[in-house]
């Protein structure tokens, strides 16, 4: 390379799933049967038909292929506001409290670049979504992990948080229904987070893409009185509307916070393709029956994923929310094979054994933090037939 990379890139690695998919591609080239991937949360269902129709109809209209407004078309911002009012009971001003995004993952980096200076501190959940940490590192901030533990229902220990040195902490990332653990949101939890953020002058960033999945009561942290003083919320059509590849998300917050995020975003793109925005408007208009049908399928899959964990010998919560099932590996698990490899966690050892011997990829929990080391995660984004086939392949290696 003719020049040295930026120093900030030395603090992050290529995304785990990007690396793992390369490994699976190499395995597929050498195997008679491809690896079954139960690792990534990419919904396999179809988006609402109304969204596809809106995309097709608007894509052939002259004038819809030009640059678009950085803040999104008014119809989309209003659709997001109506969606929040209808399902979360939250009032948002579509003119200034909503910013459409190219997926909510983009928002994590935008928020980090907008509010973090070098040396600022960020509270990041452990276990938690790896992008919270990588975006913080790219902004040259200092990561302060806070524990989520099974004995606490995978919720923050607020007494422990209060005892921590919070000097210099500007942002706290939180995510419920939780990924990877499936712990549900509650208004009591959100009230504690709002109170914590307000008292300590910390911006609480709630990442909320799973609120409709295996959950009949979607909640938003912005429903807590006064939350806009100290909170923002990211949301997305990826999970709730089977539109992950469309990359349509949003951030909701007080107008001043949105204004700062827009400063960064407007330097990085030139607005979302208008037919995508019109399709999102159609998707956001879906009624409760859409989510009822969606979750009926996910409930079947959760049962089958639980049967896989029963075969593996992993403990799990059969009533968890979100699109993953989270399982704990015990020390006596036969798939550990008496391993003495101190470098690998129980979760990684079991995941690798299942991948290479059974041809099934299940995500090891270590990638989500220290508290996930002895866990594994199954994605529910595989149909029932695939989950049953995976169970059979794993059962064979145990025999």
Would you say residue 389 has pLDDT above 80? yes
State yes or no: pLDDT of 292 exceeds 70: yes
User: Shortest CA distance to 280 belongs to which of 83, 45, 63, 44?
Assistant: 83
Question: For residue 393, which of 42, 43, 33, 44 has the smallest C-alpha distance?
Answer: 33
- Residue 260 CA, chain-centre distance (Å), reads 23
Band of residue 360 on the pLDDT scale cut at 50, 70, 90: very high
Over residues 42-63, mean pLDDT:
97
CATH for 13-42+289-398 (3.40.1650.10, 3.90.1150.10, 3.40.50.80, 3.20.20.150): 3.90.1150.10
- pLDDT confidence of residue 152: 96
Residue labelled with tokens 């299942």: 354
For the chain, where do the domains classified as CATH 3.40.640.10 start and end? 63-285
Please report, for residues 41, 211, 330, the alpha-carbon distance to residue 176 in angstroms, rounded to integers and kept in the order given. Answer: 16, 7, 26
Each residue's pLDDT tens digit, 159-204:
999 999 999 999 999 999 999 999 999 999 999 999 999 999 999 9
Whole-structure pTM value: 0.94
Residue 339 pLDDT greater than 60, yes or no? no
Which of 192, 172, 174 is closest to 115 using CA atoms? 172
64-82 pLDDT, tens digit per residue, is 999 999 999 999 999 999 9
Topology of the domain covering 63-285: 3.40.640
Q: Where in the chain is the domain with CATH 3.90.1150.10?
A: 13-42+289-398
β-bridge mates for residue 172, sequence order: 123, 204
CB-based burial label for 287 (10 Å; 0-12, 13-18, 19+): exposed
Mean pLDDT of 348-364: 95
Q: Give 18's contacts (C-beta < 8 A, 6+ positions apart).
A: none
Question: Rounded CA gap, 379 and 324, in Å?
Answer: 5
Check whether 251 has a pLDDT greater than 80. yes
How many Å apart are CA 386 and CA 42, to the nearest integer? 15
Whether pLDDT at 13 is above 90: no
Beta carbons of 171 and 116 less than 8 angstroms apart: yes
């Amino acid at each position: 390379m003719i020049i040295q990379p930026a120093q900030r890139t030395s603090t992050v690695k290529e995304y785990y799933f990007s690396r793992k998919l390369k490994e699976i591609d190499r395995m597929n080239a050498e195997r008679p049967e491809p690896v079954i991937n139960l690792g990534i949360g990419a919904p396999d269902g179809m988006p609402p038909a109304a969204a596809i129709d809106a995309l097709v109809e608007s894509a052939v209209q002259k004038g819809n292929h030009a640059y678009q407004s950085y803040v999104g078309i008014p119809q989309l911002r209003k659709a997001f506001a109506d969606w929040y009012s209808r399902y979360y009971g939250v009032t948002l001003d579509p003119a200034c409290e909503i910013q459409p995004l190219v997926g909510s993952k983009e928002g994590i980096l935008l928020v980090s670049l907008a509010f973090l200076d070098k040396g600022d501190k960020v509270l990041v959940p452990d276990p938690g979504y790896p992008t919270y940490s990588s975006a913080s590192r790219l902004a040259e901030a200092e990561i302060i992990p806070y524990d989520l533990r099974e004995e606490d229902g995978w919720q923050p220990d607020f007494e422990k948080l209060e005892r921590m040195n919070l000097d210099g902490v500007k942002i706290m990332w939180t995510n419920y229904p939780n990924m990877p653990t499936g712990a549900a949101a509650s208004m009591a939890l959100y009230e504690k987070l709002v109170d914590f953020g307000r008292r300590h002058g910390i911006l609480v960033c709630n990442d909320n893409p799973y609120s409709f999945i295996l959950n009949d009561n979607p909640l938003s942290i912005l429903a807590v009185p006064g939350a806009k003083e100290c909170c923002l919320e990211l949301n997305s059509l990826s999970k709730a509307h089977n539109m992950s590849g469309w990359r349509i998300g949003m951030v909701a917050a007080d107008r001043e916070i949105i204004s700062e995020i827009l400063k960064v975003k407007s330097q990085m793109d030139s607005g979302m393709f208008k037919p995508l925005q019109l399709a999102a408007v159609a998707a956001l208009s879906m009624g409760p029956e859409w989510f009822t049908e969606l979750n009926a399928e996910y409930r079947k899959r959760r049962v089958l994923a639980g049967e896989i964990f029963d075969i593996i010998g992993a403990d799990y919560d059969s009533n968890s929310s979100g699109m993953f099932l989270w399982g704990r590996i015990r020390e006596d698990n036969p798939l550990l094979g008496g391993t003495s490899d101190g470098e690998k966690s129980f979760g990684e050892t079991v995941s690798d054994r299942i991948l290479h011997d059974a041809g099934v990829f299940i995500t090891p929990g270590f990638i989500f933090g220290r508290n996930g080391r002895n866990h594994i995660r199954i994605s529910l984004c595989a149909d029932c037939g695939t989950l049953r086939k995976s169970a059979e392949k794993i059962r064979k290696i145990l025999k």
